[in-house]
Amino acid sequence: MISVVIPTLDESESLEQLHRELDEVAKQNDYELQIIFVDDGSTDDTWKLIERLAAQDQRVLGIRFRRNFGKAAALSAGFDAAEGEIIITMDADLQDDPGEFPLLLAKLDQGFDVVSGWKQLRYDPWHKVWPSRVFNALVGKLTGVKLHDHNCGLKCYRRDVIHEVRLYGELHRFVPVLAASRGFTVGEVVIEHRPRVHGRSKYGWSRIPKGFLDLLTVQFITRFGQRPQHWLGTAALISLAVGLFGMFYLAVVWCVSRLPGHVAVHLHETAALYYSLVAMLIGSQLLAIGFLAEMIASLVSRDSDHFSVKEHTSPEPTSPAKEATHSAATHSNATSSNASTTEADTTNPPESKLDE
């Protein structure tokens, strides 16, 4: 089964045509589809259309948010409801073509875990295209995941990827980066980008600084999420070293100035003293923050694995610890069973022949 997750926001004019196109693709390629529409707080008739489509087509599942929570939240809700082994995400504005599904799946069959679309020819205004190109180049440079179009909504995933990647905020555009940090393979295919027919874009200039800040967040999470002290501690040691060097230099200057024939230097009148103190203070604070971050990471890591297992040999190996636990549990169950039998025999002794 293939699950198609479609976040929607005020796209009532597009949903019926999108559903027809999905149905045609499924019939032409003999796909078993699950179509998941996630209404992210629409104010038009989007939800009424989703309800009508769900009543007409059993493959359609609708999820409605109480308010607008963002695309990442909508995708997460769709991922939780997805039943297919392959999950495709796309936008609801008809700019993504369901006819591209065979290309995505063919690329996935080549051994990739994530396949992202590349809108090589875009029908967007220049103020969206050029910032997007700069952003994609920056993401590729910093993360090593070199895709031409990280913002493309048409992507294809294996189910294992969705299980291991957690979305929040506006990190939906960085799913390939987060997946690559877990060891999954990422590829891309050129897709057709159709001009918008209905509605308007939900993104403006504000997404540029937000995207840059999210990039810094992803960079920190993927590189130092499990060892924050490596980054904070390094900055702390550099700051402390600068401060200590400054204090040592000032101490030498002060001592030399007290020798005969030298002009006395008063440290409280030199700016270097305050710069050195500030550097030492910042270094100490960064070091303390690093220790706190390590404690938080240690607590969080207890509830989740920070590694990704691709496959096991058959049968799956059992660790000695698991065998010991299983043996202890079996022994405990046997003891409990014997105790229950003894208690039952004692409470209700069998009738004797004399009673007969």
Q: Is the pLDDT of residue 161 over 60?
A: yes
Mean pLDDT of 183-190: 90
pLDDT at residue number 133: 81
Count of C-beta atoms within a 10 Å radius of residue 27: 10
All structural domains of the chain with their residue ranges: 2-224, 226-343
Q: Is the pLDDT of residue 76 over 80?
A: yes
Tell me which H or E stretch contains 290.
Answer: helix 271-300
293 vs 198: which has the higher pLDDT: 293
Q: What is the pTM of this model?
A: 0.69
Interior/surface letters 323-342, b for 16+ CB within 10 angstroms, e for the rest: eeeeeeeeeeeeeeeeeeee
Confidence of residue 342 (pLDDT cuts 50, 70, 90): very low
Q: What is the mean pLDDT of the chain?
A: 80
CATH class of the domain whose range is 2-224: alpha beta
What does the alpha-carbon distance between residue 330 and residue 335 come to, in Å, rounded to a whole number? Answer: 9
Q: Note whether 160 and 311 are within 8 A (CB).
A: no
Q: Note whether 57 and 49 are within 8 A (CB).
A: no
Residue type, 210: K
Mean pLDDT of 263-287: 88
Confidence of residue 340 (pLDDT cuts 50, 70, 90): very low
Q: Note whether 101 and 29 are within 8 A (CB).
A: yes
CA angle 326, 302, 70 (to 5 degrees): 125
Interior/surface letters 107-130, b for 16+ CB within 10 angstroms, e for the rest: bbeeebbbbbbbbeebeeeeebee
pLDDT at residue number 137: 84
